[in-house]
Amino acid sequence: MDLEQIKKSAINEINNASDVKLLEGVNVKYLGRKGVLTNILRSLKDLSMGDRRKIGPKANILKKELEDLIGKKKNSFINFSKDDLFFDVTKPGLKISSGHLHPLSKIDAEVRKIFLSMNFSVVDGPEVESEYYNFDALNIPANHPARDMWDTFWLKSSGPAKSKFLLRTHTSPMQVRFMETHNPPFQIIVPGRVFRYEATDMSHEFNFYQIEGLMVGHDISLANFKFIVEEFCKKLFGPKIQFRFRPSYFPFVEPGLEVDIKLGSGSWLEVMGAGMVQRNVFDAVRYNPDEVQGFAFGMGLDRLAMIKYKIPDIRLFYNGDLRFVRQF
């Protein structure tokens, strides 16, 4: 092919290239590393002096010419592409689905916020717990019938260690851990995962979430507790929520009680256990029970979410069905 022919077909192809990709193809074909024109320029050195003088300058001029044409055409694509001309800046963007919070995470965040607003601190504790913290220090000695209140996943003990380990059956052990390392007055909540060795049904899971609360200081009484629960329930469920206290028994509180709230249907539902911290628990952490008092409470996060979002079955939280999760 002589230069004239190359020029003709190159210009033709440049004119016909209808998008940037095709244009780039033409660029490669003529000016690329193994391009038609590049080959000619490269082989100049093998020509006789006369031929070199004749062809060399022409080939270089053609190269420059094609580069210019391709550059111009490229710009025309950038400035006037079809997409650009018809780009509608008022059109709403595509909605990208980004996932969202699980209802338990939502209620967890809400509960924390409410207690933080009442000057409580949030603390965290281990899910694998020793028998001592989960039971003994909470006034639930071995062989005491109260242990039956918590069906327990025991861990196989490794080595000669005396203390047995388990998956915590409640968040209450953090009461003891916290008091061992802090002095009153304080008020804390402990949100966390707990485990029960029991069959599942619509209101029981072997794994669920609790929020423990503990306030210790001088002259703390049930009246303080009542105020805190009332504030909490109103903030979570709305100002009209009704609640009641019922006497109950938990080994680590005395007196012990349960708090019920009134549902839309008119029936009462238990939402937490609570009471004044038992003397033996203070003894276990070397507080003087004659000098400090405190109240403790524990509630099921799942139960709160079920009430608030009207969820009929606790198992829905854990089966991973996105049709469920996406509703919140």
Positions that interact with ligand DAH (CB under 6 A): 170, 172, 212, 250, 253, 273-275, 296-298
- C-alpha span between 194 and 273 (Å, rounded): 15
Is there a catalytic annotation at residue 102? no
* C-beta of 14 vs 305, nearer to ligand DAH: 305
Distance of CA 313 to the CA centre of its chain: 23
**Cα angle 31-34-37, degrees, rounded to a multiple of 5:** 45
Given the residues 229, 253, 271, 292, select the one marked as catalytic: 253
Question: By C-beta, is 125 or 273 nearer to ligand DAH?
Answer: 273
In the residue annotation, 210 being an active-site residue is answered as yes
Q: Which is nearer to ligand DAH, 30 or 150 (CB)?
A: 150
CB of 258 to ligand DAH, least distance (A): 8
State the nearest-atom distance from the C-beta of 304 to ligand DAH, in Å.
14
Dihedral of CA 204/210/216/221: which sign? negative
Query: Rounded to an integer, what distance in angstroms lies between the CA atom of residue 229 and that of residue 231?
Result: 5
Catalytic residue among 17, 196, 278, 305: 196
Dist CA 80 CA 76 (whole Å): 6
The closest of 59, 69, 56, 71 to 35, measured between CA atoms, is 59
**Annotation says 253 is catalytic:** yes
The least CB distance from residue 97 to ligand DAH, in Å, is 37
In Å, how far from its chain's centre is CA 35?
55
- Is 111 in the active site? no
Select 40 or 253, whichever has its Cβ closest to ligand DAH: 253
Q: Return the number of the residue (35 or 298) whose C-beta is nearest ligand DAH.
A: 298
Q: Kindly name the residue from 17, 26, 111, 170 that is annotated as catalytic.
A: 170
Please, what is the minimum distance in Å from the beta carbon of residue 323 to ligand DAH? 31
Judge contact between 285 and 186, C-beta under 8 A. Answer: no
Measured CA to CA, the distance from residue 244 to residue 128 in angstroms comes to 34
Q: Is 303 a catalytic residue?
A: no
Which residues are bridge partners to 243 per DSSP?
Answer: 261
Q: Which of 216, 277, 296, 305 is labelled catalytic?
A: 296
Give catalytic residues, as residue numbers.
Answer: 150, 170, 196, 210, 253, 296
